[in-house]
Structure 1
């Protein structure tokens, strides 16, 4: 179940803090009794060290530490004592013990259970929303468990009943530490960065929509600011992993630039425009059902911010003479308001200059 901020919560009653002491579950639970101290710290145990990930593990602020050998062996002893029927048993929501361990952030238990699930071909078993244990660990923002499940062979491109892959989920909820794990393992795993969910969105689309929501929030609390920063990190990480800026939504044909412009998200628009592009004017002038980014900017409420946004798009190659399906140019879409005339004049002046340049080029 998804609770606050979309994070996964094991159990389907009221959202509550996960219980990290397995010994307090009911006597009929298939999870059995096992006491776990969640305050583990990293030691160089050598366990679960994956070739190719060492550089990531040494990075400042690394989110992955090695498993503690004594806790892991204790967890293995406990899990190996569970019969196959009880091990693979599902609750009323289709969760297995591995789903629940992953949701609660119990890393050693998750690792031990995953080892046994591999034996029965159930490492990617799905609960009632179609989430594999890997997707549950992602949604619960458990990068260590995500790392472990991936190195044990979990399907990196598994999707839920909405077509959401792990990258979609991480992008939607601004889980940058989870994305760092996928980035670190990218050269080992065949990660499909351009996967589409059932709404036709790529993970980058989801991350941009999340970033737009955070940007538009009027709540300037530290939590809101952190959410905005984390969502921007997700956008950057997905681009570093090879996500394409020119991918268009299936339903509306919008690129991430269209989405950022439509939200009036000037910092994100600047970020996209200042990136290194093989064909920047081509990106700016791509059409979503006939409308370029400049059309969408012109249709925003006419404020000084809108005027600056339009100046930005024009500077980087936006075509003010482009027409949409209704044969309208951006200047035709400017709504009435304080800055309407200034914006119209800006667009018309640039349109004339653009037309003059085109005529000059044609005559040469």
Structure 2
């Protein structure tokens, strides 16, 4: 008898958590207790008395907590509806609710509200992750009734406040902080709720933390396990609104991370973020701040060849002669010629001039020399000025020599064509060798 394939032999399967084939719901892979609450559609079976509808004055039943569906929670004593015999016997229920013993139901509800699952998540974690504000209110009330701490950690070392910041729920953040949640609780990376708000670019959650926390409780200089403050994290994420909010609340703009000593300005330079560099410089950041190795922001920008950042730092007063631990200045670590020019005080390096052709005029504005030009050579001697010059000279003429001694050598410019001159002396022109002179006393 053929055996089943290996992938089909799954053993016992829990049909409650197994995803259905072709189910479009993305929550099908989650356990039933972690899915979003949906109102039941089926009608109650025979013999089951449905719970009475809550009055408009009292809030509705909390849907996320396991337990009897007939319980009605409200701030105050826990009152349950009338017992079933009134409905079974078709008798009108009493006008007042029947007061049940308060100790046992409240203890059971608190135990169910604070019991973690296999992932360490309590019903409060799940309600916050789902964004169910009403359930969060009820669960927070149960935590307070039982004297439990709201900063309960799951297996990922996340508190409900951490989840509220990650899911960007400022109203839940305000509720949890106002009810006693600690904003300085650390997650597995050593980050506080302020770090997480800056990491997820949530200025609304950061504002809720700053406005709701008691004075002196939330520290903006706390470091995570990477040694970064919330301002470092906000600069690395390039969130302008979060950076401005931190600076307005008194965050240290020159705070250094405890691993390398980099300031937020140096982090912005290494991220090649010109907008963050300009924002920090406008708010008074120290442009010559040095890290533990002695390098400044100008060292980092010069070594990376970041021309706009180098220009911005130099204009803001960065010291180009500052030395690091290796006695290197920003000029010594620069590899880009344009960066070197900026550090030396030059605006830009002039581009090389193209070589002029034989018929193009030179940059000095002089015209090419030709045999028919402004000066002509005589048939047997030195040149003589021609009265019929084609164009007047652009510069004042020099005084002619009074006497000529020895053979004269004329150097023609490379722009003019080669001229053949009737001159007895040696001729030196481009492209023609110089004939050897006869030995003295020879023929």
TM over 0.5: yes
Tell me, yes or no, if the aligned pair for 1:320 and 1:329 is still in contact at 8 Å.
Answer: yes
The residue that corresponds to 2:258 in the other structure is 250
User: Residue 103 in 1 paired to residue 106 in 2?
Assistant: no
* Residues 260 and 195 of structure 1: CA distance in aligned 2, closer, same or farther (over 3 Å): same
Tell me, yes or no, if the aligned pair for 2:269 and 2:300 is still in contact at 8 Å.
Answer: yes
Instruction: Identify unmatched segments of 5+ residues in structure 1.
Output: 1-10, 25-68, 212-230, 351-364
* SS at structure 2 position matched to 1:113: helix
Tell me, yes or no, if the aligned pair for 1:71 and 1:108 is still in contact at 8 Å.
Answer: no
The residue that corresponds to 1:133 in the other structure is 160
* Residues 23 and 250 of structure 1: CA distance in aligned 2, closer, same or farther (over 3 Å): farther
State which of 340, 347, 359 in structure 1 corresponds to 2:343.
347
Tell me, yes or no, if the aligned pair for 2:164 and 2:172 is still in contact at 8 Å.
Answer: yes
The residue that corresponds to 1:146 in the other structure is 173
C-alpha distance in 2 between matches for 1:205 and 1:70: 49
Tell me, yes or no, if the aligned pair for 2:177 and 2:213 is still in contact at 8 Å.
Answer: no
Tell me, yes or no, if the aligned pair for 1:248 and 1:255 is still in contact at 8 Å.
Answer: yes
C-alpha deviation, 1:120, in angstroms: 2.9
State which of 6, 31, 37 in structure 2 corresponds to 1:21.
37
The residue that corresponds to 1:163 in the other structure is 190
C-alpha deviation, 1:185, in angstroms: 2.4
Q: What root-mean-square deviation, in Å, do the aligned CA atoms of Structure 1 and Structure 2 show?
A: 2.7
C-alpha deviation, 1:77, in angstroms: 3.6
Tell me, yes or no, if the aligned pair for 1:20 and 1:106 is still in contact at 8 Å.
Answer: no
The residue that corresponds to 1:236 in the other structure is 244
Tell me, yes or no, if the aligned pair for 2:189 and 2:225 is still in contact at 8 Å.
Answer: yes
C-alpha distance in 1 between matches for 2:228 and 2:309: 25
The residue that corresponds to 1:60 in the other structure is none
* SS at structure 2 position matched to 1:195: coil
Return the structure number with greater helix share: 1
For these two proteins, the number of residue pairs brought into alignment is: 262
* Residues 73 and 189 of structure 1: CA distance in aligned 2, closer, same or farther (over 3 Å): farther
The residue that corresponds to 2:312 in the other structure is 312
C-alpha deviation, 1:297, in angstroms: 0.7
Pick which of 140-149 and 186-195 moved more. 186-195
Tell me, yes or no, if the aligned pair for 1:290 and 1:323 is still in contact at 8 Å.
Answer: yes
Tell me, yes or no, if the aligned pair for 2:183 and 2:213 is still in contact at 8 Å.
Answer: no
C-alpha distance in 2 between matches for 1:346 and 1:315: 10
* SS at structure 1 position matched to 2:344: helix
State which of 293, 296, 301 in structure 2 corresponds to 1:292.
296
C-alpha distance in 2 between matches for 1:12 and 1:203: 37
State which of 212, 234, 240 in structure 2 corresponds to 1:207.
234
The residue that corresponds to 1:6 in the other structure is none
C-alpha distance in 2 between matches for 1:120 and 1:331: 64
* Residues 166 and 145 of structure 1: CA distance in aligned 2, closer, same or farther (over 3 Å): same
Structure 1's consecutive aligned runs of 4 or more residues displaced over 3 angstroms after TM superposition are 11-14, 69-82, 186-189
C-alpha deviation, 1:307, in angstroms: 2.2
Instruction: Identify unmatched segments of 5+ residues in structure 2.
Output: 1-26, 41-55, 63-70, 79-104, 347-443
- CA offset digits 1:110-152 (Å, max 9, x no partner): 1110121123322111111221111111111111100110111
C-alpha distance in 2 between matches for 1:12 and 1:343: 58
Higher relative contact order (CA 8 A, sep 6+): 1
User: Residue 178 in 1 paired to residue 205 in 2?
Assistant: yes
State which of 266, 272, 280 in structure 2 corresponds to 1:272.
280
* Residues 293 and 141 of structure 1: CA distance in aligned 2, closer, same or farther (over 3 Å): same
State which of 250, 258, 262 in structure 1 corresponds to 2:270.
262
The residue that corresponds to 1:88 in the other structure is 114
C-alpha distance in 2 between matches for 1:313 and 1:127: 46
- CA offset digits 1:262-316 (Å, max 9, x no partner): 11111110001111x3xx5xx111111211000011012x3xxx22211211121
Tell me, yes or no, if the aligned pair for 2:161 and 2:193 is still in contact at 8 Å.
Answer: yes
Tell me, yes or no, if the aligned pair for 2:210 and 2:218 is still in contact at 8 Å.
Answer: no
C-alpha distance in 1 between matches for 2:220 and 2:192: 9
C-alpha distance in 2 between matches for 1:311 and 1:262: 15
Equivalent residue runs for 1:28-67 within 5 Å: none
- CA offset digits 1:149-204 (Å, max 9, x no partner): 01111112111121110000011110111112123225656211111111111111
